[in-house]
Amino acid sequence: MATIEGNAAFTGATFKGDANWNGATFEGEEISFDRATFKGNTAFFDANFKIYTSFWEATFEGYAAFAGATFEGDADWDGATFGYTVFEEATFKGNASFIGATFKGDVSFEGATFEKDTEFIVKNIKKNMNFANTVFNPRKTLEINTLDIVNEVVINFEKAYLENVYLELILGEKTLIYFTTEEIFRNIIIKGNQIKNHILQEEREDFEQAKEVYLLLKNNFHSIGRYEDESWTFKKEKDMERKSNCHFKSLHKWLWSCFLNGLFGYGEQPGKVITSAIIIILIFTFLFMSSGISDTSMGGFTSKIFLDCVYFSVITFTTLGYGDFRPLEGCGRIFAGTEAFIGALMMALFVYTFARRTGGR
């Protein structure tokens, strides 16, 4: 196991064959592999970088392995280009930066530990990023930017430790996030609009698992006070539940869920209550037009005029009952009684939904 003391510079160097620094220790002030080219496989298994380490704009054409390595100082891979890369079980005690990096193959940080800020503002990802079982210590920042990436990429956070981490995600259209219910996922500062349409289980139509992921996110948003995002994830949770019941054995659950969604958006959309109320009023308007209503101000004259029936439907729905119109005997009374009952329920439903959406959680 070699020990390299003092400053070491391999700036612009080309390593034509395999490069093996397994178990090496780097001491001094800094070591630079800036713009170096590694044409073969590169191995830093269990290496210990006690100093500032820079691989700025380095190119790894073969397999690059930093598994088990320890970076005690800051580590800089800005602008670097990687093939298949492994940082599994690596420990980053300083800041780690991958700004503008290109990953042409899969990259795995499984089991790695980040103790300070980490920036993954990546330039291009051809394959997937794996953060399974990765530990991001509390109050740290993880930023991943895949906005300019056009191919499908999966970022895996399975069983990652993400408690009290600031997670900044700026994702391209085809970037998918894989969360599971096994993460340590509490008090994560994350914005709902950054992960909308990026949850892998939903895109792959695994609606039962997607429901559990949205439940996890909902609880997290509640804990950090992002109630708009909590509302969104609750609605998505119920949507996933509805879609998972879309088969013959659970047809009754699917129909009931569709009804609740259409009626008031599971308590998250007051606008749907208003829309439903207008539809109900119009339906009963046409029913009253068919049966007729009695105009008491005209000596009991039977009216089937649209505006009169709309007016009567509204005051019946709201249970105002001014007395200037009344239903005719028979079907008219049944229609009026039914609408008054529905109207009372709808007004209560609107109050509940409005209060829920304006802070009554």
Output the pLDDT for position 6: 59
Give me the average pLDDT of each 10-residue run along the chain (361 residues). 69 92 88 94 94 94 95 93 94 90 90 87 77 84 81 89 86 90 82 94 94 94 90 94 90 91 90 94 96 82 92 94 86 94 94 79 56
Output the pLDDT for position 248: 84
Count of positions (residues) in the chain? 361
Output the pLDDT for position 283: 97
The pTM for the full model equals: 0.80
Separation between Cα atoms, residue 213 and residue 243, nearest integer Å: 15
Separation between Cα atoms, residue 96 and residue 74, nearest integer Å: 6
Which of these, 98, 109, 166, 163, lies nearest to 132 by C-alpha position? 109
Strand order in the sheet with 42-43: 19-20, 42-43, 64-65, 85-86, 107-108, 129-130, 153-156, 175-178
Which of these, 220, 333, 340, 351, lies nearest to 274 by C-alpha position? 351
Output the pLDDT for position 170: 87
Domain residues of the chain, as ranges? 3-248, 267-357
CB burial class (10 A; 0-12, 13-18, 19+) of residue 113?
middle
Residue-wise pLDDT tens digits, 227-258? 889 999 999 999 999 999 988 888 999 999 99
Q: Which two tokens stand for residue 141?
A: 């920042």
Separation between Cα atoms, residue 78 and residue 55, nearest integer Å: 7
What do you get for the CA distance between the two ends of the chain, in Å?
60
Contact in structure between 31 and 51 (CB atoms under 8 Å): yes
Q: Is the dihedral of CA 39, 76, 123, 146 positive or negative?
A: positive
Separation between Cα atoms, residue 62 and residue 15, nearest integer Å: 11
Tell me if the domain spanning 267-357 has CATH number 1.20.1580.10. no
Residue-wise pLDDT tens digits, 41-68? 999 999 999 999 999 999 999 999 999 9
Output the pLDDT for position 300: 73
Output the pLDDT for position 1: 59
